[in-house]
Amino acid sequence: MAQTTTVQITLEEDEEHTEAHATIRVRDRDFVAGGRARRNPRDPNVPVVGEELAVARALSDLSHQLLAAAAETIEGFVGHQVTLEE
């Protein structure tokens, strides 16, 4: 059984900050995560760097949430706490 899901990422930015918001729906559960990047005023204004950092941080947050959810589901089946390696 093949299944496809999509991560939606929205970016908001100004001269100094970039924020990324990532959402994904896995079966009947929604996960929402965020990431932020701040440009040092001494650094050149290169928006792609802030976008990449903010998106990476949002996806990392999303990844941790999904691992925690999987551990919670497994714990429901086995009846004890589990630790999942990243």
The pLDDT of residue 46 is 87
- Can you spell out the DSSP letters for 31-75? EEEEEEEE--TTS---HHHHHHHHHHHHHHHHHHHHHHHHHHHHH
Domain that holds residue 19: 8-77
- Rounded Cα distance, 57 and 52, in Å: 9
Distance from C-alpha of 47 to C-alpha of 60, rounded to nearest angstrom: 20
66-78 pLDDT, tens digit each: 999 999 999 999 9
Residues in a beta bridge with 19: 12, 36
Confidence (pTM): 0.88
Q: What is the total count of domains within the chain?
A: 1
**Structural element, H or E, at residue 78:** helix 47-78
CATH of the domain at 42: 3.30.160.240
